[in-house]
């Protein structure tokens, strides 16, 4: 190591003062360039991570603001264990439980059509809520009053199973 230092010292001693200054300035510039090359990728990744942190913080604040709204979206459907094979019986049971009458029920390969009659409109709304809670999707709903008796309501639902 001392031989290497001696070679460098001898080399620098043989140069003019102006050349020594030029080599010193070049060494400082080279050191600064190497330092920038080493720190630049770290700075870029820091900036990228800081941007992600700011975005996530904004998302977190937005989620906190919407927490009450999401809690209000609960559908209040009770968890019901249901056998997957007899959908017609399940729907008939729901209709009877709501004190309505099944006039007709037809089943196709992916949907069930119900024609129901009754006199209480709130019971129809409760029935629709219960059917939706059981995992059925309404594809058609027609509610009409009977022509000869306006107190009687007739409804046609077409539902399909989603889960």
122: β partners: none
Q: Give 82-127 pLDDT, tens digit per residue.
A: 556 678 888 888 889 988 999 999 988 788 899 999 888 888 888 8
Q: Which of 101, 67, 105, 75 is nearest to 89 (CA)?
A: 105
Q: Give 46-67 pLDDT, tens digit per residue.
A: 999 999 999 999 989 988 888 8
Confidence grade of residue 151 (pLDDT, cut at 50, 70, 90): confident
Q: How far apart are CA 81 and CA 53, in angstroms?
A: 43
Q: Is the pTM of this model over 0.85?
A: no
CA–CA distances in Å: residue 61 to residues 51, 55, 67: 15, 10, 10
* % helix, strand, coil for the chain, step of 5: 55, 20, 25
């Amino acid at each position: 190591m001392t031989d290497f230092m001696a070679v460098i010292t001898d080399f620098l001693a043989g140069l003019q003062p102006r050349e020594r200054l030029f080599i010193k300035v070049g060494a400082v510039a080279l050191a600064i360039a190497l330092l920038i090359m080493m720190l630049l990728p770290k700075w870029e990744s820091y900036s990228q991570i800081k941007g992600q942190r700011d975005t996530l913080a904004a998302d977190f604040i937005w989620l906190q603001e919407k927490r009450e709204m999401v809690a209000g979206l609960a559908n209040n459907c009770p968890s019901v264990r249901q056998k997957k094979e007899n959908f017609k019986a399940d729907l008939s049971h729901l209709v009877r439980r709501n004190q309505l009458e099944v006039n007709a029920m037809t089943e196709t390969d992916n949907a069930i059509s119900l024609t129901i009659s009754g006199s209480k409109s709130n019971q129809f709304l409760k029935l629709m809520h219960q059917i939706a809670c059981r995992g059925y999707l309404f594809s058609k709903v027609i509610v009409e009053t009977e022509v000869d008796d306006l107190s009687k309501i007739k409804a046609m639902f077409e539902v399909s199973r989603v889960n």
